[in-house]
Chain A
Amino acid sequence: MAIEINLLHTKFFLPKVREHLVHRPRLTSLLEDGISKRVVLISAPAGYGKTSLLADWNQEYQHPIAWLNIDESDNNPTLFIEYLIHAFNDCGFPQLQEILAKKKDLFQGNIRQDINILLNCMLSAQENIILVLDDYHLIHTTSIHENMNFMIENLPENVHIVLITRADPPFNLSRWRVNGHLTEIRRADLCFTQQEASDFFTTSIGRFFSRRNIRALTNKTEGWIAGMQLAASAIRSLQDEKSISTFIESFKGTNRFILDYLVEEALKNQPEDVREFLLYSSILDRFCAPLCDLILEKDNSQEMLERLERYNLFIIPLDNQRTWYRYHNLFADLLQSQLQKSDKEKIRKMHLQASEWFEKNGNLSEAIEHSFQAEDYQRTSRLVQAQGEYALSHGQFTTFMNWVRRIPAEILHQNPTLCSYYVICLILEGSAYQEILSLLDIIENAEEHCSYQPAAIKALLCILQGKQQEAAMQLEIIKQNPPDDEFFAGLYDLMQSLYTPSSIRNTMDRLRKTYNKSRANGNLIIAIVSLSYIGDLYKYQGKLTEASRTYQDVLAMSEIGNDEFLSASSVALLGLAEIAYKHNQLDEAKRLLQQGLNMTTRWEISHFFGLSTTLARVHIAMGEVKEAVNAMQKAEDLATQFDMTEVDDFVVACRIIQLKLLMGNIDEIEEWENQIDTSKLGLAKELNSFSVFFSTVDDLYAFTHAWFLLYQGEAQQAITILQNLYDDSLKDNLDDFTIQYAVLLAVAYDKNKDRTKAMRYLHKALTLAQPENQIQVFLEQGTDILNLLYEAARQDIQPEYTGKLLALFPQLELKKGKDEFIILDGAMIEPLSDREHEILALIAEGLSNQQIAYKLHLSLSTIKVHSYNIYRKLNVHSRVQAVSRAKALFIIS
């Protein structure tokens, strides 16, 4: 149940000592001693006064403390580390704060790196630092546990951590225990002693209790403070000694679950109006006086709330003005279970009133939640629809989908607008195509539906499926019936600007208009997507700086508080990562892609393919073959599952061929026709004149084919294809593509023994690449382009840039350890390892990778890694080449 009361939460708020709190010096001194060690673990179930102990200790000793209240949403590692760093602000560590302020740009949201930086900062601060993490049991993300464990294992001596939790965290607790790093305060320590119980009852009830009665209460509740508090509430309202004795006698005799019994007693002994108030207000996750007045049909709720607070009846104020309150969770649960005995119809009515109140006061999510509880699904459907436009425009897809899925199908189907919003979400989520189609059918057959809704859905599907003419037809229908709904209007503008054939300049202008309009109307998602496309256009034009800036703007716009980003911004992360890759900043590229992939696990599934295939490319450049193969596999698997279009399978197939070419696994790409399903070729052709975005799909196919032909030794054929691509991109000023085509043309002409033409294209590539510092496009071609670059250096073509590129070639690092290399026939060969020798010999025998894997008891991917290394060392691209070269070099006989 996601109720948006985050704004009321004060995550860094140190709990204050409550009135009537029993001071517990035996525990505060235990904590004070413990703090000299590394970690204090306070582990006990709810209601044992863990947080109160900290408040008590803080009041007594007054150390500066960094405090973090953890909640469910902190299970995102990036968010968690952000909060952790924030916790050190404004809490009296002047040195640490100064260091953190200086280093703040270093924190990049990667939890391990950030913890390392944080540890260094804390070490440099020569002051005592105490960090308290409250409710750590709410963390269930393994990577956060691992990193917290790492942090504690490496904690500088001046830092101490207090963990408050209901369950032991999965840390190396036993080792820390043995090494004396750990102080534990557990349930048994936290239970009230007889003396504490006596103090507690005396202060909270203001009456002295007989020792016998105190012992009875303590024994029966086993020192559980929540139980004692409830007992105190039950007793407080009893007037005479006799009824107290009766209560305690019956209490001793009961076999029931103790809190259940106590809450019942406590309620029974309250005046009627208090009892009623407690019971019925417990249906509210948070409440204020006017709301309580309404559902209880009273006019004294404010007074009642103050009374409850005075009596310490498990009520927690949520703000300083004493407007909003909630109950202690344990108490709320108990009250709600009591409520089950009462009139269901009455409670339903109250939920309905609460829903209406929240709606009137502009809090739709709480209105929706209560409407669900009231089981008034017509109302719920109307409310969710009303919230749908906002939710979609602001990227709150998950919340929205969860609501819709709780509405019974027959009610949902009566509301075509709600269905339309839902279908858009299903498309973005990559849900089963069949479900989308059947809902579309329902929308179209609904009596009252706006014709732009099904048209927009169909247009979106056609675009994803690459059906250009049908998409244009649907867009025309929308044009005749302009949407009166912000989200659909924005979606229409966006589709119209993208998929109407036009020059890049016009497309850019139209996108800019869509962006400005959606921005002004608060249609955040459409603004994000249109600006991302503007970024893409800059990138295609080779204006990488401009593109970077645009993507950064997208990220700034998609930050939804707490440093969380909308998943729609993953395409901007992809863009930034591709640029980092082009600049040969591989670590940065990897980080950005990981961040993007974390976002797309559930949403924006179509971005996933670009992210994971680019990640594979980065892995290859870093020599991480195994990881590259994994990333490719993931993209392929997901593309197959994503069944509403084949375009993604096609794009992924092309990208994977390129990756295999980069790895030199040419014999894995046996027949071109087998790799790219010929039935999909028609699809690519149709996309040719579609728009700048989909023409890249067609070009991607041609470019990949040319590259493949080149490595098959068909240089002339490759040149023909590349020449066309090159001329087109030059005409359209798509410099980024022109550079790629020119580089490959240079290699192709060189292979065709036409050095002059090769140098002409290399010259062009270098001239275009230099201003924006494009590096990888050259490095990718490896040794094939090395000689050409030497030649360029000799001919004084872009000498500085060429020199810089040459220095970056990993192949040249071989020269540094010259002695280790075999030089045969003037060629320099890094020696093969024994395993590589073994595998090469088996390759020469004609065994397939699978057979080799089987024979050597190794995995297929291991064999692939070894073959890749063999190819690299021998500077070849295929098995056949490897064997002939190895024979020529007398490596094998």
Chain B
Amino acid sequence: MMEIHRNYYQIQIQGHLGENWSDWLQAFHIQYNENGITILTGPVIDQAALRGLLDRLFDLGIPILSFRQVDFHPEERIDSPLPQD
């Protein structure tokens, strides 16, 4: 078996995404900012998975503000402040 390298991605979207999406976003950590921005942080196996995720957000009409690769596990840094781009 090929080893799967997990990358972590952080995606900022416009609007607070409700708890009802947590099943779909299973492995993602969801964090809300006061200004109506949701920050999703979680593992993305590869570029195809990333594209699938972004496509889904796009199809739901959720505006994507930024996304970037991060090198930490979301669980470890839940409370750390987000660097602003």
Residues of B within 8 A of A224 (CB): 61
Interface: B81 (CB within 8 A): no
Interface: A257 (CB within 8 A): yes
Interface stretch, picked from A18-26, A284-292, A329-337, A751-759, is A329-337
- A255-B36, A337-B24, A340-B23 given; A45·B61 CB < 8 A: yes
Contact bitstring B40-72, A, C-beta under 8 A = 1, else 0 = 000000000000000000111110000000000
Cβ contact within 8 Å between B61 and A260: no
Residues of B within 8 A of A45 (CB): 58-59, 61
Interface: A341 (CB within 8 A): yes
Most buried by A among B16, B35, B61, B62: B61
Cβ contact within 8 Å between B61 and A259: yes
Per a CB cutoff under 8 Å, which of B18, B23, B59 touches A256? B18
Per a CB cutoff under 8 Å, which of A46, A256, A333, A334 touches B15? A256
- Expressed in whole angstroms, the Cα–Cα distance for A227 and B63 within the complex equals 14
Cβ contact within 8 Å between B20 and A341: yes
- A255-B15, A256-B15 given; A337·B61 CB < 8 A: no
Interface: B85 (CB within 8 A): no
**Count, chain B residues at interface, CB 8 A:** 20
Residues of B within 8 A of A255 (CB): 15-16, 35-36
Interface: A151 (CB within 8 A): no
Within 8 A of B (CB), among A313-370: 329-330, 333-334, 337-338, 340-341
Per a CB cutoff under 8 Å, which of B18, B24, B35, B59 touches A257? B18
- Expressed in whole angstroms, the Cα–Cα distance for A308 and B19 within the complex equals 27
Residues of A within 8 A of B16 (CB): 255-257
- Expressed in whole angstroms, the Cα–Cα distance for A340 and B62 within the complex equals 19
Cβ contact within 8 Å between B20 and A257: no
Within 8 A of B (CB), among A251-267: 255-260, 264
Within 8 A of A (CB), among B1-47: 13-24, 35-36, 38
Residues of A within 8 A of B19 (CB): 341
User: Which residue on A lies nearest to B34, using beta carbons?
Assistant: A255
Cβ contact within 8 Å between A257 and B17: yes
Residues of B within 8 A of A260 (CB): 15, 17-18, 20-21
- Closest chain-A Cβ to B2's Cβ sits at a distance in Å of 14
- Closest chain-B Cβ to A375's Cβ sits at a distance in Å of 14
Interface: A166 (CB within 8 A): yes
- A255-B36, A340-B23 given; A46·B18 CB < 8 A: no
Residues of B within 8 A of A333 (CB): 59-60
Cβ contact within 8 Å between B20 and A166: no
Within 8 A of B (CB), among A28-71: 45-47
User: Which residue on A lies nearest to B15, using beta carbons?
Assistant: A257
Interface: A226 (CB within 8 A): yes
Per a CB cutoff under 8 Å, which of A167, A256, A330 touches B60? A330
- Closest chain-A Cβ to B14's Cβ sits at a distance in Å of 8
Cβ contact within 8 Å between B22 and A340: yes
Per a CB cutoff under 8 Å, which of B13, B20, B24, B61 touches A330? B61
- Closest chain-A Cβ to B60's Cβ sits at a distance in Å of 6
- Expressed in whole angstroms, the Cα–Cα distance for A227 and B15 within the complex equals 14
- Closest chain-A Cβ to B13's Cβ sits at a distance in Å of 8
- Closest chain-B Cβ to A70's Cβ sits at a distance in Å of 15
User: Which residue on A lies nearest to B58, using beta carbons?
Assistant: A45
- Closest chain-B Cβ to A394's Cβ sits at a distance in Å of 30
Per a CB cutoff under 8 Å, which of A227, A258, A329, A340 touches B20? A340
User: Which residue on B lies nearest to A339, using beta carbons?
Assistant: B20
- Closest chain-A Cβ to B61's Cβ sits at a distance in Å of 5
- A255-B36, A340-B23 given; A47·B18 CB < 8 A: no
User: Which residue on B lies nearest to A342, using beta carbons?
Assistant: B20
Per a CB cutoff under 8 Å, which of B17, B58, B59 touches A329? B59
Residues of B within 8 A of A167 (CB): 58
- Expressed in whole angstroms, the Cα–Cα distance for A259 and B23 within the complex equals 18
User: Which residue on A lies nearest to B61, using beta carbons?
Assistant: A45
- Expressed in whole angstroms, the Cα–Cα distance for A46 and B62 within the complex equals 11
- Expressed in whole angstroms, the Cα–Cα distance for A167 and B21 within the complex equals 24
Cβ contact within 8 Å between B18 and A166: no
- Closest chain-B Cβ to A561's Cβ sits at a distance in Å of 28
- Closest chain-B Cβ to A618's Cβ sits at a distance in Å of 35
- Expressed in whole angstroms, the Cα–Cα distance for A748 and B36 within the complex equals 85
- Closest chain-B Cβ to A347's Cβ sits at a distance in Å of 11
- Expressed in whole angstroms, the Cα–Cα distance for A533 and B35 within the complex equals 70
- Expressed in whole angstroms, the Cα–Cα distance for A330 and B56 within the complex equals 10
Within 8 A of B (CB), among A224-267: 224, 226-227, 255-260, 264
Cβ contact within 8 Å between B59 and A46: yes
Cβ contact within 8 Å between A259 and B20: no
- Expressed in whole angstroms, the Cα–Cα distance for A255 and B23 within the complex equals 21
Cβ contact within 8 Å between A46 and B61: yes
Residues of A within 8 A of B38 (CB): 257
- Expressed in whole angstroms, the Cα–Cα distance for A257 and B19 within the complex equals 11
Most buried by A among B15, B17, B22: B15
6 cross-chain pairs, A with B, having the tightest CB-CB distances, nearest first: A257-B15, A255-B36, A337-B20, A256-B16, A340-B20, A340-B23
With A255-B15, A259-B61, A340-B20 known, 18 other A-B pairs at CB within 8 A are A45-B58, A45-B61, A46-B59, A46-B60, A46-B61, A166-B59, A167-B58, A224-B61, A256-B15, A257-B38, A260-B18, A330-B59, A330-B60, A334-B60, A337-B20, A337-B24, A340-B22, A341-B19
Interface positions of B (Cβ within 8 A of A)? 13-24, 35-36, 38, 58-62
Interface positions of A (Cβ within 8 A of B)? 45-47, 166-167, 224, 226-227, 255-260, 264, 329-330, 333-334, 337-338, 340-341
5 A-B contacts (beta carbon < 8 Å): A46-B61, A167-B58, A264-B18, A337-B20, A340-B22
